């Protein structure tokens, strides 16, 4: 009977400690039900003069974010800027664009219009394809405008 009381007391202390620690730890944005912006100010990010921008909203406490960061980094070219907006380092940017879940990736044109976005894990193939579609779509739209 004494052992049962001791086990119960230890269990109660462990649960209480877990709840206290969970409340104190700063939490990175996670979860679902989020919406991503359709327009951004290019001056909030690196190389505002580049034709395209890929923004990855990440957090140092997110395992999937490190994978996304590696995948978007290889998209950088002379015409495509890549900006990693890590939550603790760039909290103001996360707040300005209401980013409350990570990882989030935006593919943005020179005017700040978001042509593709991803929330959560995404494959490198899907990122490459989305950027290619966005670039081709804008090039086609520009060509159509010049023909009419």
Please identify every stretch of the chain with a pLDDT value under 50, giving residue numbers as ranges. 25, 29-31, 142-148
Helix (H, G, I), strand (E, B) or coil at 86: strand
pLDDT at 58: 97
pLDDT at 146: 39
pLDDT at 25: 47
pLDDT at 20: 62
Total-model pTM: 0.72
Nearest Cα residue to 99 out of 4, 34, 49, 10: 34
pLDDT at 144: 47
Dist CA 91 CA 67 (whole Å): 20
Q: Where are the alpha helices (DSSP H) in the chain?
A: 2-24, 63-73, 91-96, 124-147
Q: CATH says 42-147 is which class?
A: alpha beta
């Amino acid at each position: 009977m004494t052992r049962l009381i001791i086990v119960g007391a230890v269990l109660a202390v462990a649960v209480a400690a877990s709840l206290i620690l969970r409340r104190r730890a700063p939490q990175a944005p996670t979860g679902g039900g989020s919406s991503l912006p359709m327009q951004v100010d290019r001056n909030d990010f690196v190389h505002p003069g580049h034709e395209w921008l890929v923004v990855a909203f990440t957090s140092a406490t997110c395992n999937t974010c490190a994978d996304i960061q590696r995948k978007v980094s290889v998209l950088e070219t002379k015409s495509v800027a890549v900006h990693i907006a890590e939550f603790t380092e760039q909290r103001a940017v996360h707040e300005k664009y209401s980013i409350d879940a990570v990882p989030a990736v935006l593919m943005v044109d020179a005017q700040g219009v978001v042509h593709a976005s991803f929330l959560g894990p995404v494959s490198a193939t899907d990122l490459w394809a989305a950027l290619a579609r966005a670039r081709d779509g804008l090039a086609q739209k520009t060509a159509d405008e010049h023909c009419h």
